[in-house]
């Protein structure tokens, strides 16, 4: 049984014009130049797009795809940045059939920040609800906001596209997550929904600028292969959280770069060293496993996560979350 | 008592005159007053052609009466007012207590004259939103149950838009969030605009849910319920006082108390108490200086794990994870 993926190419714009591509190529219905309803044959649900203020637009997307699609955002030189928030669970765990002890999991990072001229391909899972929000921020506007939070010369360097690429990939910060969770509870059809979406978009922008100002500025020009290669390794780490850290040498090889280049680029994009990134993600997974109710003891979870010493696991867990794993453990019922 | 006769509007031609009357001057988006007790904030932000916001966060050092005498009539003012201390609205010679536990939300047609009186020592935190009537009409006609009457609402021969209300708990927290932002630079404009849209959206929800309520509640009961809310906040660090106790304080039967509380605030006493407790706990957590156990003790949760569970339910993230990813 082979089902052909529907390949679809598009690009966004700061204004509402981009929506015409979805209407023309996929047969979506456009209402008031802001709400797109997908044709039932492809997906149920739709999206809402609003211009919040000059230099900032927001797109909220709530769709369940029924057929396989490959949606490619074409890198056309555009004068804006895109911030992507995935408002689903970042780590999902489920019991693999037939074995109580093996917990299957899927881990991902919910937020990315990129230049509109980088390419992206999305292959949404079939039959699963995708709920995501995107901000489109005009470059000059973000530069102006950034200038109010840090040293002017640093800001100028960060926004100098001949020397630096702004790009990062991360978890959604807490304040943003609380806002997004509360927005998710509001139906699109509420009369107040557009106001709340605008309010959320503005606060997300504010939190983003505040958060980014705390990042260590790493001035570096990224090529598309650099980005792809580093993200390939971070995904590799996320897919192998139950194992030990593979070592920098191996990671750099996987990325096809020197160790020193790899370390710098990883830190620039993921905001942490590969080793710390791996340990933090492991402990976040530990947190989910402890609360999952699928285990009877901390020891089981420590072994599941590849720690040979449950005591050491308890120590690093406490350091990160302030509580001992035993205090958090929900036992199997 | 100092008397300030002034006007507002979506357009900004009133700003310089108000500044002069307050013995201050205009600098960028701010009205600066040289000899204030604490460096206050009076910030004016035009958001779009239909919407302007005025944020006032000051301490008064003398008694002032503000007499609002507009010359434009094309807008409506929404005044979200968290003044602490003695302050009153006077309209048609009827005074109403303003501030956090009084009528802290006033909606005023520009055609109305109103006086707002503050006593020396008052700390005022207010967000005034001026909306063109044409834009407000647009918002209101989105509310299904208002579609039929929207024409008469905006017909000056039939109706004057005026309303004293209480802002929702959500609105209170929105204003609180804005107060954490530094009132300088373009980032402040982002937060102000976000707050203004949030406040209008929240008030629309309130209109949808509470339309029928106010008329059926007698003033005395209303005061008792508002006092009951204040009592719950004052005792936010203790455990829930219980419906029997609260009803007795409000001088009502338990059934009546529960019913009225829900009608007026939109939530049950228990849920009002818990959601505020969690908001305070969240603020304490954000300082990064306390452990979950300390916060749990401070706000009298049954146990740290009870706090963790409630926090997760309310905000979708467990507290420690919230803190580590702040």
Indicate the pTM of the whole model: 0.83
Averaged over A136-160, what is the pLDDT? 92
Q: What is the 3-state secondary structure (H, E, C) of A224-236?
A: HHHHHHHHHHHHH
> How many CB pairs lie under 8 A apart between chains A and B?
108
CATH of domain B2-211: 2.60.120.10
User: Where does CATH 1.10.10.60 sit in chain A?
Assistant: 224-328
Instruction: Name the packing angle between helices B304-315 and B269-286 (round to 10°).
Output: 100
- What span, in angstroms and rounded, lies between the C-alpha atoms of A218 and A272? 12
Domain boundaries, chain B: 2-211, 215-324
CATH of domain A224-328: 1.10.10.60
Model confidence band, residue A289 (pLDDT cutoffs 50, 70, 90):
confident
| Partner-chain residue, chosen from A144, A181, A322, that has the shortest CB–CB distance to B315 | A181
* B204–A191 CB contact, under 8 Å: yes
A328 pLDDT more than 90: no
Model confidence band, residue A106 (pLDDT cutoffs 50, 70, 90):
low
* B325–A203 CB contact, under 8 Å: no
Burial class (CB in 10 A: 0-12, 13-18, 19+), A326: middle
Strand order in the sheet with A69-73: A6-10, A69-73, A120-122
A120 pLDDT more than 50: yes
Model confidence band, residue B92 (pLDDT cutoffs 50, 70, 90):
low
- What span, in angstroms and rounded, lies between the C-alpha atoms of B236 and B276? 8
**Structural element, H or E, at residue B95:** strand B94-97
**A322 contacts on B by Cβ (under 8 Å):** 291-292, 320
- What span, in angstroms and rounded, lies between the C-alpha atoms of A302 and A185? 35
Model confidence band, residue A94 (pLDDT cutoffs 50, 70, 90):
very low
Which fold, B215-324? Arc Repressor Mutant, subunit A (1.10.10)
**CB atoms closer than 10 angstroms to residue B110:** 22
Averaged over B115-129, what is the pLDDT? 88
Instruction: Name the packing angle between helices A310-321 and A274-291 (round to 10°).
Output: 100
Q: By the 8 A CB rule, do A150 and A110 touch?
A: no
Model confidence band, residue A99 (pLDDT cutoffs 50, 70, 90):
very low
- The rounded radius of gyration (Å) of the Cα atoms in chain A is 21
Question: Looking at A46-60, A221-235, B180-194, B221-235, which range is the least confident one?
Answer: B221-235
- Residue from A278, A301, A239, A292 nearest A93 by CA: A292
Model confidence band, residue B215 (pLDDT cutoffs 50, 70, 90):
very low
A16 pLDDT more than 60: yes
| Partner-chain residue, chosen from A173, A201, A328, that has the shortest CB–CB distance to B326 | A173
B103 pLDDT more than 50: yes
User: Which residue does chain A place closest to B47, by CA atoms?
Assistant: A53
Q: By the 8 A CB rule, do B82 and B126 touch?
A: yes
Q: What is the DSSP letter of B65?
A: E
Q: By the 8 A CB rule, do A128 and A191 touch?
A: no
User: Which residue does chain A place closest to B304, by CA atoms?
Assistant: A327
Chain A closest CA to B310's CA: distance in Å?
14
| Partner-chain residue, chosen from B177, B204, B322, that has the shortest CB–CB distance to A174 | B322
Q: By the 8 A CB rule, do A244 and A278 touch?
A: no
User: Which residue does chain A place closest to B202, by CA atoms?
Assistant: A192
* B326–A200 CB contact, under 8 Å: no
Strand B114-118 with B87-91, pairing: antiparallel
**B184 contacts on A by Cβ (under 8 Å):** 148
State the pLDDT at residue B102. 61
State the pLDDT at residue B214. 44
Alpha helical stretches, state H, chain A: 19-26, 139-147, 152-158, 174-184, 193-212, 224-239, 248-255, 259-270, 274-291, 298-304, 310-321, 325-328
């Amino acid at each position: 049984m082979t089902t052909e993926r529907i390949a679809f190419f598009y690009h966004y714009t700061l204004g509402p014009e981009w929506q015409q591509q979805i209407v023309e190529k996929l047969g979506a219905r456009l209402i008031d130049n802001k709400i797109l309803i997908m044709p039932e044959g492809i997906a149920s649900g739709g999206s809402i797009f609003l211009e919040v203020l000059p230099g900032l637009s927001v797109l909220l997307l709530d769709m369940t795809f029924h057929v396989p699609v490959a949606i490619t955002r074409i890198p056309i030189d555009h004068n804006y940045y895109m911030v992507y928030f995935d408002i689903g669970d970042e780590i999902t765990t489920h019991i693999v059939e037939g074995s109580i002890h093996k917990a299957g999991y899927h881990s991902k990072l919910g937020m990315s920040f990129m230049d509109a001229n980088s390419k992206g391909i999305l292959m949404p899972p079939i039959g699963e609800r995708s709920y995501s929000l995107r901000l489109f921020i005009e470059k000059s506007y973000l530069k102006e906001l950034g200038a109010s939070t840090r040293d002017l010369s640093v800001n100028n360097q960060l926004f100098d596209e001949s020397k630096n690429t702004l790009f990062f990939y991360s978890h959604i910060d807490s304040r943003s997550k609380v806002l997004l969770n509360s927005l998710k509870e509001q139906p699109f059809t509420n009369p107040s929904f557009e106001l709340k979406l605008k309010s959320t978009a503005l606060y997300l922008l504010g939190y983003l600028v505040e958060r980014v100002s705390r990042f260590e500025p790493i001035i570096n020009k990224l090529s598309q292969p650099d980005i792809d290669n580093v993200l390939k390794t971070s995904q590799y780490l996320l897919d192998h959280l139950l194992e030990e850290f593979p070592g920098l040498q191996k990671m750099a090889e996987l990325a096809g770069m020197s160790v020193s280049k790899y370390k710098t680029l990883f830190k620039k994009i993921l905001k942490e060293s590969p080793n710390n990134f791996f340990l933090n993600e492991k402990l976040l997974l530990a947190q989910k496993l402890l609360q999952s109710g699928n285990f009877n003891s901390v020891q089981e979870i420590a072994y599941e996560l590849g720690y040979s010493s449950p005591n050491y696991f308890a120590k690093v867990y406490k350091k990160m979350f302030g509580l001992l794993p035993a205090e958090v453990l929900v036992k199997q019922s | 008592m100092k008397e300030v006769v002034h006007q507002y509007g979506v357009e900004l031609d009133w700003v310089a005159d108000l500044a002069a009357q307050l013995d201050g001057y205009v600098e960028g988006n701010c009205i600066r007053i040289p000899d204030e007790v604490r460096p206050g904030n009076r910030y004016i932000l035009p958001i779009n052609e239909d919407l302007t916001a005025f944020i006032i966060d000051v301490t008064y050092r003398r008694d002032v009466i503000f007499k609002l005498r507009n010359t434009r009539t094309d807008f409506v003012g929404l005044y979200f007012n968290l003044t602490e201390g003695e302050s009153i609205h006077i309209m048609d010679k009827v005074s109403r207590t303003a501030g956090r536990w009084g009528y802290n939300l006033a909606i005023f047609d520009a055609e109305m004259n109103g006086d707002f009186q503050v006593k020396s020592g008052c700390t005022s935190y207010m967000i005034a939103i001026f909306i063109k009537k044409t834009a407000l009409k647009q918002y209101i006609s989105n509310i299904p149950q208002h579609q039929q009457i929207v024409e008469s609402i905006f017909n000056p021969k039939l109706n004057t838009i005026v309303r004293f209300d209480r802002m929702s708990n959500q609105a209170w927290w929105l204003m609180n969030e804005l107060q954490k932002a530094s009132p300088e630079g373009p980032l402040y404009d982002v937060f102000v605009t976000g707050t203004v849209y949030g406040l209008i959206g929240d008030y629309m929800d309130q209109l949808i849910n509470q339309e029928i309520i106010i008329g059926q509640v007698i003033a005395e009961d209303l005061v008792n319920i508002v006092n009951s809310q204040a009592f719950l906040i004052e005792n936010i660090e203790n455990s829930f006082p219980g419906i029997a106790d609260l009803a007795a304080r409000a001088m009502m039967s338990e059934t009546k108390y529960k019913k009225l509380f829900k009608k007026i605030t939109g939530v049950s006493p228990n849920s009002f108490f818990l959601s505020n407790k969690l908001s305070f706990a969240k603020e304490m957590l954000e300082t990064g200086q306390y452990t979950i156990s300390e916060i749990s003790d401070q706000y009298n949760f049954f146990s740290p794990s009870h706090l963790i569970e409630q926090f997760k339910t309310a905000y979708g993230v467990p507290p420690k994870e919230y803190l580590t990813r702040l």
